[in-house]
Structure 1
Amino acid sequence: MDPMHSMEQLVEELNKYNYHYYTLDEPLVSDKEYDVLYDKLTALEVETGLVLPDSPTQRVGGELLKGFKPHRHLTPLWSLDKAQNEEHLQSWNNRVLKLVQDYNSKNPDAPLPAPAYVVELKFDGLTLNLTYTDGKLVQASTRGNGVVGEGILAQVKTIKSVPLTIPFKEGTIEVQGEGIMNLSVLAAHNESGADPLKNARNAAAGALRNLNPKVTAGRKLSAFFYNVGYGEEIQFDNHQEMMAFLKSNFFKVNPFIAYFDSFDQVMSQLHEIQEKRASLDYLIDGAVVKITDMRTREVLGYTDKFPRWAVAFKFEAEETTTVLQSVIWNVGRTGKITPLARVEPVELAGVTVQNCTLNNVGDIERKNLKFAIGSRVFIRRSNDVIPEILGKVTEDNDGAEIIYPEHCPACGFPLEQRGAHLFCNNRLDCKPQTVGRITHFASRDAMDIETFSDKTAEQLYDELAVREPADLYELDYDGLVKLERFGEKKANNLLAAIEESKGRDLAAFLFALGIPNTGKSTTKVLADHFGNLDGIMNATAEELTALPDIGGIVAESIVTFFADPFIQAGIVRMRTLGVEAKAPDKPLQVATDSYFSGKTVVLTGTLHQLTREEAAERLEALGAKVTGSVSKKTDLVIAGEKAGSKLTKARELGIQVIEDENELIRLLQNS
């Protein structure tokens, strides 16, 4: 195919993708796929020396939506040149150094300072341009094509992080930022069962470009601000001054901003941001590097499309599209049936993805995936977890149907739908459930039986008829040593580990039982309060709901669990065989006069200076009661990075929140 024809095809394809992405807010491909095509077109233009009139390389932004009044920006909103790797970034810096050197050689009496740099996050939302006159917000617009945008003042006013008035009253200024939806807000919205949103970027863009401001308000958007593009009566010497101005005028500035004199330090900071990316509560697709000195920016100037004094460093994509090939159904230890999607292999965030989670049948319906086999879907991977399917690229029912099973794929028992999930109620004779329960019972956070694994559980199920945790305590050497891959040493080690597990404390034993709707924090609350197994087994729902971290659903789960004759018989057997399940003899000596004394505390998000477990231990030693869920009984929430729905709920309830880990450490040390 000749280069001109290839360019025509690429221009047509990219312009179609631009229209769907910028105008309709319905992207057809991922950013990664778009960038590959864009780079191909750029290479062909360099090779041929020709640029087609409608090439996307010649313009910035997209077309205006009908229904919004156009707004002409007082100064252009420039796009940024992209560095796809460290070599490209180094090339950008070399150009900056050369331009500065050339200027200084010609202007020895007024040289530019050595370049200094600022590194900011590159948000994946919708660019906002706000106009303030005499301190009042008089207009807000999208970026549009960089010269003219869409007026969205009514929509932007619904964003609570946007100030309606500011202290600066000297004429007119334009401030640029990014409208975003926090990932925790997106998760809460989708959990509510309302209209499902595919991802946070689309949700923010769609809300801000919705003609009904009530829809925008319902999305609970946020915004970060990073630039003063125009000011009649204000001038800054450097980027630091501009950021100080934004903060002093009540604009929300992202805390991830760093200044450097060395370009090597810039590279290190970019690596650090990439490592922290998965812990953020909002989407970023890279970082922006800028020269801090404003006079240097003015001298370096602009190309036809980009400022020479800034560059965007793109990270590895966390989102892409692929084809959904099939769905299989897995059975968990609680009987829950979980769909797993097989997709056409695709590279994403540095790995080849072939499997994606679909959560449950309710998730399939909500995301319009019922007729999606063979269709192209959006997938996202973050924080090294199995990728999730976000939704279909198109809204059409253009794929084959995902058939929901009516019988358990493992044992053939009829399935029951409870809420959004399918369940197999054949608890006693369904192999995956039994193997899962035994594996959980022996896991590290439970009875901590060393050398035990899911393969061990499956082998014991198949060859020694182990059907419940109590059976583990009746295993003997003669039975184990005959098993394949079991020699004398392995058999003796396993028996010794099982024997040692008999002394695990009450909280560990309760967690090992796998009581529905309970986790480690809840079982610890039960053990600490009742102090013995019999008290817990005989507790009423009313007694349980009086405890922190236990609501009505959890209380009913606990009561129902211990009322089951099968469970009761298993516990009797284990106790007869030597399992102690006792609370520690001596209660933990705790402080009674510390800052945390008597407070019910919830830990959420990621801490960096100590683990959540270490933080919980220190808090409890200072008299706090650490629980796992936020309620009206909660006194304090400690929120690390990527604190999600628990932080949102704490704010809604007006509960005190500590978000600064250094402040937490100070309080722990001074209490």
Structure 2
Amino acid sequence: MNAMERMEQLIAELNNYNYHYYTLDEPLVSDKEYDALYDQLTALEKETGTVLPDSPTLRVGGEILKGFAPHRHLSPLWSLDKAQNIEQLRTWHDRAVRLVNDYNAKNPSDPLPAPCYALELKFDGLTLNLTYREGKLVQASTRGNGVVGEGILEQVKTIKSVPLNIPFTDGTIEVQGEGIMNLSVLAKYNETAAEPLKNARNAAAGALRNLNPKVTAERRLNAYFYNVGYSDERSFTDHKEMMDFLRENRFKVNPYIFYFENFDDVMEQLADIEARRASLDYLIDGAVMKLTDMRTREVLGYTDKFPRWAVAYKFVAEETTTVLQSVTWNVGRTGKVTPLARVEPVELAGVTVQNCTLNNVGDIERKNLKFALGSRVFIRRSNDVIPEILGKVTEEQDGEEILYPEQCPSCAFPLEQRGAHLFCNNKTGCRPQIIARITHFASRDAMDIETFSDKTAIQLHEELGVKEPADLYTLAFESLIKLDRFGEKKAQNLLDAIEKSKERDLAAFLYALGIPNTGKSTTKMLADHYRDLHRVMEATAEELVELPDVGGIVAESIAGYFADPFNQVAIERMLSLGIQAKAPEAPAVVSTDSFFSGKTVVLTGTLHLLTREEATEKLERLGAKVTGSVSKKTDLLIAGEKAGSKLAKARQLDIQVLEDEAEFVRLLNEE
């Protein structure tokens, strides 16, 4: 077998494994076996200088593109008429039934069948239109205006649930679907991202319209498909047949498709979908109702904008418009100066909104908001407490200018722009930075200084001159009892809590330092890997980037933090004052044959009978591996109260779920 034949064989094997892993959620081989075959393929591609069109190595993203080429769709991509409530949905239904009855009255010899209905989830992502010619993916584009979109083939190739080739090789077809970012993937991405993404919809749309396909690949997007818009060789009798065709051709079809003969049954299912909405691992903003019979669709046809045979039922609005009134600038723990928008009060998803997120000056420019004060803007409620401004309603620069500060709004120190962000570099003299650093340092997941709050930090800073976390370990009883609202008991309790915090382990101490772009999972990984504070401090960016879930930006942040003399002095001072920052001893496995032995376990939701930390410690002693995210490698999910996206994903992957906390505790104690 020559090199080219071996490459073709490897590509066929790897694409089949990808299909089972990413589309069917049914892995056929271990990651180690897959990686070995993948490495063989990359070696042969390097040796031959050839990369075949359907090679999985193309999914990592190629060179930065110069721009998006227009793509004219072979068949129009229609918008959907919207029903905001049940009455409007019934109006659509009654009109469709009337059109069917009118046709049948005029054509009694060849009547249309009685209406049947398909109900699908309405994804909140970016519409994709894929073109396959003789079974090969030759183009992918956005919806655009429905007639012409933008070619994004290189970006779409990075989505591993999109087939690069399909079994159907007769002529040309165009398939429509939705590019999305799963909520669990978004959460994982944000744990180490230099710039956390605010919501999954914008994350997917931004990735697919990014000229650098490598950025798209990093977002680990997903896609679901729901329509064959054009085919020169294949037709369908009904919607079910079309969905079967998509599945047979390795497209990922969402399992939540429901079929009904009775319209009233649709109402009950809509209520169920809306109730399930919060537990799904992706965003939806409604459901789509379609007549299933293809001949009926052809007869009913289209208005100027919409098909008459389909309608989108929208859930409670999570997007609206209001007037941008003002922008203020706030200083955070790292010195980052971020804008906060004040808008004209408006009702959104059941609450009155007055404040909205604006991420940075780059965000303001990108969303055409520089001249938007006094103008109407779109706002959207995502997973955050406060909504985000998406952009201006009009394209014109018809508002007053948002002025960017040149000096820190708190300490008047000259600001520095790094990338899209403004920073105040006055670490030792900027009050908001000082207070935020001390508060974070004392927080529960960090040094866990009981009863400490931001009010405590403010009082200690203003009245006792506490400027950095190390100063907490020099506080004296005599000084504390002179403070307002500090009696002897409160003063002693605080000193006892500070003393106790010296015993916190290395992972907690690293998190307490507030290293930019690092969260709890990253600092725990650093502690487990290096098991010594000074080894962490000496690690280079080149070493760090080799660790799990540490990208280039995060590695530079960690190495840069410990290279800063200000931080080095502060850390050594804390060590001299008694902080231990030791790596904990690896938990002794007391059982190798317990219910949890050898299992990869994820905890989610609220536990009432024990803390998350206690549960993790007990699980590890019983031989389990506790991780933070659900994947195909997860064996068991422990779901407490108000479990959300992780529970939904576990059910999708058919992972064992334990929802009875009392039973969980019983199994933990059964050694």
Hey, what does 1:266 align to over in structure 2?
A: 269
Structure 1 CA distance for aligned equivalents of residues 452 and 444 of structure 2: 9
**Residues 290 and 310, structure 2, Cα contact 8 Å, conserved in 1:** yes
What letter is aligned with 1:525? M
**What's the offset of the Cα at 1:512?**
1.3
**CA separation of 1:349 and 1:300: change in aligned 2, threshold 3 A:** farther
- 1:591 and 1:623 in contact (8 A); partners too: no
Instruction: Give runs of aligned pairs for residues 462-481 of structure 1, distance below 5 A.
Output: 462-475=462-475, 480=480
- Per-residue CA shift, 1:142-164, capped at 9, x if unaligned? 99999xx55x7977798548778
1:444 counterpart residue number: 444
5 Å-filtered alignment, 1:259-658, equals 262-263=265-266, 265-272=268-275, 274-276=277-279, 279-280=281-282, 284-290=284-290, 310-475=310-475, 480=480, 483-486=483-486, 491=491, 493-533=493-533, 536=536, 551-560=555-564, 564-573=568-577, 575=578, 579-589=579-589
Q: Quickly say closer, same or farther: Cα 1:520–1:253, change in 2 above 3 A.
A: same
Query: What secondary structure, in the 3-state scheme, does the structure 2 residue paired with 1:372 have?
Result: coil
Task: Give the superposition deviation at 1:535.
Answer: 5.1
- State the 1:440 CA deviation: 0.3
AA aligned to 2:176 is G
2:122 aligns with 121
Aligned length: 544
Identity %: 55
State the partner residue of 2:638: none
Q: Is the 8 A contact 1:122 1:285 kept in 2?
A: yes
Compute the displacement of 1:78 (Å). Answer: 7.0
In the other structure, the counterpart of 2:54 is none
How far does the alpha carbon of each residue in 1:244-265 deviate from its partner, in whole angstroms, 9 at most, with x for none? 1122134443454345784464
Aligned to 2:446, the other structure's residue is in SS state coil
Q: Judging changes above 3 Å, is the alpha-carbon distance between structure 1 residues 390 and 88 closer, same or farther for their aligned structure 2 residues?
A: closer
User: Are 2:176 and 1:177 aligned?
Assistant: yes
Q: After superposition, what is the alpha-carbon deviation per residue over 1:400-438, rounded to whole angstroms, capped at 9, x for unaligned?
A: 333332322212233333343333232222211111111
**Retained in 1: the 8 A contact 2:438–2:468?**
yes
Counterpart amino acid of 1:467? K
Distance in 2 (alpha carbons) for counterparts of 1:328 and 1:145 = 36
Q: For the residues of structure 2 that align with 1:667 and 1:271, how far apart are their CA atoms?
A: 23
1:332 positional shift: 1.5
Query: For the Cα contact (< 8 Å) 2:120–2:258, is it kept in 1?
Result: yes
Q: Partners of 1:216 and 1:559 in 2: how far apart?
A: 32
- Please list the CA deviations of residues 537-587 of structure 1 after superposition, one character each: whole Å capped at 9, or x if unmatched: 5667777667555635422322436863344224322x1xxx443332454
Distance 1:130 1:542 in 2: 41
C-alpha distance in 2 between matches for 1:465 and 1:69: 63
What TM-score results when the alignment is normalised by the length of structure 2?
0.61
| Partner-residue secondary structure (3-state), 1:452 | coil
For the residue of structure 2 that corresponds to 1:323, the secondary structure is strand
Question: 2: CA distance between counterparts of 1:268 and 1:323?
Answer: 33
- Structure-2 separation of matches of 1:513 and 1:205: 35
- SS, match of residue 401 in structure 1: coil
Q: Which secondary structure does the structure 2 equivalent of 1:571 belong to?
A: helix
> CA, structure 1 residues 467+357, in 2 after alignment: closer, same or farther (shift >3 Å)?
same
CA RMSD of aligned residues (A): 5.9
Give the deviation of 1:445 after TM superposition. 0.9
CA offsets per residue over residues 177-233 of structure 1, 9 Å max, x none?
A: 246576999x99x999xxxxx9589879999xxxxxx99999899865323568898
Contact 2:515 2:558 in 1 (8 A): no
Which residue is 1:225 aligned to? 225
Moved more, 226-235 or 267-276: 226-235
* 3-state SS, counterpart of residue 342 of structure 2: strand
Match of 2:328, SS state, is strand
Aligned 8 A contact 1:549 1:627 in 2: no
Gaps of 5+ in 1: 1-66, 193-197, 208-213, 629-634, 639-658
Aligned partners of 2:460 and 2:142: how far apart in 1? 63
Match of 2:408, SS state, is coil
Residues 322, 379 of structure 1: 8 Å contact kept: yes
Give the TM-score, by structure 1 length: 0.61
Question: Are the equivalent residues in 1 in contact too, given 2:406–2:414 (CA < 8 A)?
Answer: yes
Cα offset for 1:663?
5.4
Instruction: State the 1:441 CA deviation.
Output: 0.9
CA deviations over 1:345-364 (Å, ceiling 9, x no partner):
33334333322333233433
Measured in 2, the distance between the counterparts of 1:81 and 1:359 equals: 33
Quick check: 2:122–2:288 contact (8 Å CA) kept in 1?
A: yes
In the alignment, is the contact (CA less than 8 A) between 2:539 and 2:559 conserved in 1?
no
Partner residue, 2:669: none
Which stretch has the larger CA shift, 304-313 or 619-628? 619-628
2: CA distance between counterparts of 1:112 and 1:446? 65
Matched-pair contact (CA < 8 Å) for 2:130–2:140: yes
- Give the gaps of 5 or more residues in structure 2: 1-68, 196-200, 635-648, 659-671
1:501-521 Cα distance to aligned partner (Å, 9 max, x none)? 333222212221223443323
Corresponding residue for residue 22 of structure 1: none
Deviation, structure 1 residue 274: 3.4
2:564 partner SS: helix
Cα distance, 1:288 vs structure 2: 0.8
Deviation, 1:338, is 1.9
